[in-house]
Chain A
Amino acid sequence: MEVEKTARSVEEAVEQALAELGAKREEVEVEVLEEPSKVLFGLLGRRPARVRVRVKDTPVRRAKELLGKVIDAMGLMVDMKFRETEEGLFVDIAGPNVGILIGRRGETLNALQYIVSLYVNKNRVQKCKVYLDVEGYRRRREETLRRLALRLAEKAKRKGRNIVLEPMSSHERKIIHTALQGRDDIYTYSEGEEPYRKIIISPRK
C-alpha cells in the first residue's frame, strides 16, 4: 500500500497521505520526491512538494489487518491493543461477546493465533511469535493451570502413584512443568504425540 501526494509543504503532503492510508506516522516510510521550491525567486509561483508514502510491512500491521477483517466479518466490535517485545507480538482483544473468540478451552483462540502467526510470518526471514489474548483469558488460564499443578502434585505424592493430566498444548504444558520444576518430591514429563501429548506427574521414590 502506497500513495503519492502533492501539497504546499512536505508535512502537508505526508498528512494527506496518512489520512488516505489510515495509518500513523510511525507505520509508514516517507520518500520525498520533490522539495517545494520557488520558481525564479517566486515570480513564476511555487513548485509544490511531492512525497511517496508507503505503509511498512510490520508484524503489527499484518496482524491488525487480518484480525480486523476476521473479527469484523464475525460481526464483533472489539478493541485491540498491540505490544511488541523481544519475546514477540502480544495482542489483547476486548469487547462485548468476545467469548466466541476464545471457544472451549481456548480452542478458537489458539486456532486464530496460529493463523495470524502464519500470516504475519509469511515471507519473513526473522520469525515473530504472536500471542493472542481475549479479555485476559490466557492470564486466568495460566493461574488455573498453576493451581491445578500444585494440587495434583500433592495428590501424586500422597497416593504414591503417577497422575496423568489431560492433553494440553505445548504452551500449557510448559506452564505446568515450570510450576513444578526443581521439586525433590515429584517430577514431571510428557508422553504421547501432539495434539494429545499430556503431562505425567510422578512421585520420587
Chain B
Amino acid sequence: MVKEVVEILAKALVDHPDKVSVNVVEKEKSCLVELKVAPEDMGKIIGKQGRVAKAIRAVAKAAGTRQKKKVTVEIG
C-alpha cells in the first residue's frame, strides 16, 4: 500500500518512470521506504528546498496511518 503510493507519486513526477524503484523494509510498527530514481531525475523528486520530497513523505505517511505504521522515506 505505502510502496504502491510512493511508486505512483514518483513515476508521475520523473522523466524516466522506468528507472523508478521502490524497496520497502517492513517492521512491526514502522516501514522504511527506499526510493531510487535516475540521477537526472533527482532534482525533480527533491524539488526546491526539498518541497517535493516533503510532499511525497507526507502522502506516504498518510498511506501508512491506516496500517498504524510510521513511515520513513529515504531518497537516493
Dominant SS at the B interface? helix
What count of chain B residues pass the 8 Å CB interface test? 21
Binds A, one of B23-31, B32-40, B60-68: B60-68
For A118, give its contact among B52, B57, B66 (CB under 8 Å).
B52
User: How many interface residues does chain A have, given as a range?
Assistant: 20 to 34
B46: min CB distance to chain A, Å? 12
Distance in angstroms between the alpha carbons of A118 and B59 in the assembled complex: 15
A residues 67-114 in Cβ contact with B at 8 Å: 69-70, 73-75, 97, 100-101, 103, 107-108, 110-112, 114
Besides A97-B66, A115-B13, 16 more A-B contacts (Cβ < 8 Å) are A69-B8, A70-B9, A70-B59, A73-B1, A73-B5, A73-B8, A74-B1, A103-B61, A107-B58, A108-B58, A111-B55, A114-B51, A118-B12, A118-B52, A122-B13, A194-B49
B contact set with A: CB distance below 8 Å: 1, 4-5, 8-9, 12-13, 49, 51-52, 54-59, 61-63, 65-66
